[in-house]
Amino acid sequence: MREIIRYLTDLEIKTFTQKIKYITILMLLLSICSINNSFAQKDKPTWAKSSFHKSLDNSYLQTIEITGNSREDIRIEADKAIEQWRLRTVGAGQAVVKSLFIADYYEENNGELKGYILYQTLKNPSYEYENVESSGDYNVSAHVFVPGMAQIHKGSTGKGIAFISGEVIFVGVIIVAESLKAIYESEINSTHNTYLRNSYINSAHICETISYCAIGSAAVTYVWNVIDGCVAKGKPHIIIGVFPYAMLDGGGVSLKINF
């Protein structure tokens, strides 16, 4: 009878510990896959919507939304649309329209290709264009030190949530593993049965190993988060200003205004 009880107890400990180990591995894999999937997603620009319209000192910024069969067809129709819009605005059928293509974004849904074309149109043909660009670059900020915050700040919400989820999962695994380790260690001195003591010791070692792995994974994820927050591009947005320049006798960088 004692042998049966010992066998069942040992089997219960091993089964429970194995479940914790498998659950930990599964959580780690899910976290990694979630972060990788978020990297594969392309961020939609802030200006990629039909309602986008900004008035600058010398020009207008406007997005034209067109659905078509190809990117070439969409661009042709968008060029016509921006010209017609400006002619209607000034109320002169023979007005000179000067528009500049800035950027485009395309998405396909249910076999339908939709394009968002960003234009800069002068308020008066005699005016000069402001320097405008669409860029995914963002200044490095203190957000990088909080998991996921830099990514969310850049508009990459999915990636930010993935980093936050990863850290939460790893911390949760650490807490559970350390708690189980403490329980197994307390059980070691609660029995004089050598077989059970060895089982508790082995289980405590397994929990300790799982905890160390989770700590290492959390550290790697945090470093990955900081690096990504510093160097990765975010959701493309509008930058207005005088951009970096280079000349034979030198170069320089001037202030940019983002929105």
Per-residue confidence at 254, pLDDT binned at 50, 70, 90? Answer: very low
* Stated pTM of the model: 0.67
200-222: per-residue pLDDT in tens?
888 888 889 889 989 998 999 99
3-13: per-residue pLDDT in tens?
444 444 454 55
DSSP string, 10-37: HHHHHHHHHHHHHHHHHHHHHHHHHHHH
Let me know whether 72 and 122 are in one domain: yes
Residue 247 lies in a domain: no
The answer to whether residues 9 and 196 touch, using CB atoms and an 8 Å cutoff, is: yes
Residue 49 lies in a domain: no
Contacts (Cβ under 8 Å, ≥6 apart) of 230: 140, 144, 150
Let me know whether 31 and 144 are in one domain: yes
Let me know whether 212 and 152 are in one domain: yes
Let me know whether 23 and 61 are in one domain: no
The answer to whether residues 57 and 130 touch, using CB atoms and an 8 Å cutoff, is: yes
Residue 31 lies in a domain: yes
Domain range for 181 is 2-43+140-237
| Cβ neighbour number for residue 77 with a 10 Å cutoff | 16
Residue 256 lies in a domain: no
Q: According to the 3-state scheme, what is the secondary structure of 210-254?
A: HHHHHHHHHHHHHHHHHHHHHHCCCCCEEEEECCCEEECCEEECC
Let me know whether 196 and 69 are in one domain: no
Number of domains into which the chain is organized = 2
Let me know whether 80 and 204 are in one domain: no
Task: Supply the pLDDT for residue 54.
Answer: 92
Supply the Cα-derived Rg of the chain in whole angstroms: 29
Please, where are the H alpha helices in the chain? 2-40, 71-90, 149-153, 157-188, 194-231
CA distance 10 to 151: 47
Tokens 């649309």 — which residue? 81
Per-residue confidence at 19, pLDDT binned at 50, 70, 90? Answer: low
- Out of 6-20, 176-190, 218-232, which region has the weakest mean confidence (pLDDT)? 6-20
Residue 144 lies in a domain: yes
Residue 218 lies in a domain: yes
Q: How many residues does the chain have?
A: 259
Let me know whether 32 and 148 are in one domain: yes
Let me know whether 147 and 39 are in one domain: yes
Which of 101, 129, 157 marks a domain boundary?
Answer: 129
Residue 12: both structure tokens together: 């219960």
CA distance 252 to 239: 17
47-87: per-residue pLDDT in tens?
999 889 999 999 999 999 999 989 999 999 999 998 888 77
Task: Tell me how far the alpha carbon of residue 105 is from its chain's centroid.
Answer: 18
Pick from 123, 137, 131: nearest CA to 102: 131
